[in-house]
Amino acid sequence: MAKIKICGISTIETMQAAADAGADYIGLVHYQKSPRHVSFEQAAEIRRNAPNSLKIVMLLVNASPTETANGLTIVKPDVLQFHGSETPEWIKLVKEKTKVKVWKALGVRDRHSLIKCARYNGIVDRLLFDAPAKALPGGTGTSFDWELLRTHEHAINWGLAGGLNPDNVAQALTATNAPLVDTSSGVESVAGKKDIDKIMRFCQAVSTI
């Protein structure tokens, strides 16, 4: 079964709901323009209350070196996810200095987008293929052409994001055979507010594939 990441968690209640539903990862977004933004202190509290079965992903967008270091120190995430225009060189340096697992989200417009991902070979632990960034770098509820991934030869562990919800995630998995699926707005009642029933239905839908 594909691994599941519920991104944009902002409360202990919804973190627990994700864990109870069978999610493998939760994402804690530290990006002030996002409706899912949490401070490092809020993220640390959620992290302290999370069961050992749940891996914590801290999401940063073009954060400064100081901000990145503070987040790692305060939150102590299992994974650091870069969701902006961070360079492979910067990500490699962070990984070498901190030894934390690193993921990179990439917007997919066409096959050329997938060719460009080769620059992260040997650097990141996972690529997340997402819809191209708009006003926000993620969590916009839009998807991309999954057919682009059907014949792509993946050199890096990867996951699928962008517009996934309880009603289409099974179709997405059938189309791409993704080893991990990542949802955020697809399990919300309004922007930034997670819906516990939708989280449960999303995880149940993944379990059927």
Range of the domain at 196: 3-207
**∠ at Cα 203 (74, 159), nearest 5°?**
65
Q: Are strands 193-194 and 188-190 parallel, antiparallel or unpaired?
A: antiparallel
Three-state DSSP class for residue 84? coil
Under the phi-then-psi rule, with left for phi > 0, alpha for psi from -120 to 50, and beta for the rest, what region is 139?
Answer: left
- Name the maximum alpha-carbon separation found in the chain: 43
Count of domains for the chain? 1
Bridge partner list, 105: 128
Amino acid at 36: R
pLDDT of 135: 46
How many C-beta neighbours within 10 Å does residue 133 have?
16
- Nearest-angstrom CA–CA distance, 45 and 195: 20
148/202 Cα distance (integer angstroms): 23
Contacts of 79 (CB under 8 A, 6+ apart): 25, 55, 56, 57, 58, 100, 101, 102, 103, 125, 126
Walk along the chain (209 residues) and give the pLDDT tens digit of each residue. Answer: 999 999 999 999 999 999 999 999 999 999 999 999 999 999 999 999 999 999 999 999 999 999 999 999 999 999 999 999 999 999 999 999 999 999 999 989 888 888 888 999 999 999 999 987 654 554 556 778 898 888 888 999 999 999 999 999 999 999 999 999 999 999 999 999 999 999 999 999 999 98
Question: Are the C-beta atoms of residues 39 and 76 closer than 8 Å to each other?
Answer: no
Q: Are 120 and 159 in contact (CB under 8 A)?
A: no
Q: What is the pLDDT of residue 209?
A: 82
For 26, residues 6+ apart whose C-beta sits below 8 A from its C-beta are: 5, 6, 7, 9, 15, 18, 19, 46, 50, 54, 55, 56, 57
pTM over 0.85: yes
CATH number at residue 43: 3.20.20.70
Cα distance between residue 206 and residue 209, in whole Å? 6
